[in-house]
Amino acid sequence: RIPGTKVILRPGDLVAIPFWSLHRDSRYWSEPEMFHPDRFMPENKDKIIGFTHMPFGMGPRSCIAMRFALMEAKVALAKLLLRAELHLRSNHEQLKLELSISITRPTEVKLVITPLTTSTSV
């Protein structure tokens, strides 16, 4: 039995954690729909309530490719920023994400990518 509920879990039951909802819960995050990367700066780590941010899961069943995925994203972003400038179009709108059992991507991002003329080979 889950404490404080009438729910009983039996061996073999499947439990799904709604990460999307957890990551956007106003009980844990101020302005949960806003992008505030400063939340994850080292000086703010102690303000994050345990087990409320799990983009790759946690514990022994966390994603084994987490470090690789994070490094790959950093390298790709660095290469892009070395070669181009990124700007939102003047007519951009707030991104709307759909509630789903999995992560979804926005269908239309109005982004202008301008190649740098003095780009170096990377």
In this prediction, residue 102 carries a pLDDT of 67
pLDDT in tens, 104-121: 777 777 889 999 986 555
The answer to whether 63 is a known ligand-binding residue is: yes
Residue-wise pLDDT tens digits, 49-87? 988 998 888 888 889 999 999 999 999 999 999 999 999
* Cα 44 to Cα 83: distance, rounded to the nearest angstrom: 32
Residue 93 has pLDDT above 70, yes or no: yes
Q: If you count DSSP H runs as helices and E runs as strands, how many of each does the chain have, helices first? A: 2, 2
The dihedral region occupied by 117, where left means phi > 0, alpha psi between -120 and 50, and beta the remainder, is alpha
In this predicted model, which residue has the larger pLDDT, 99 or 37? 37
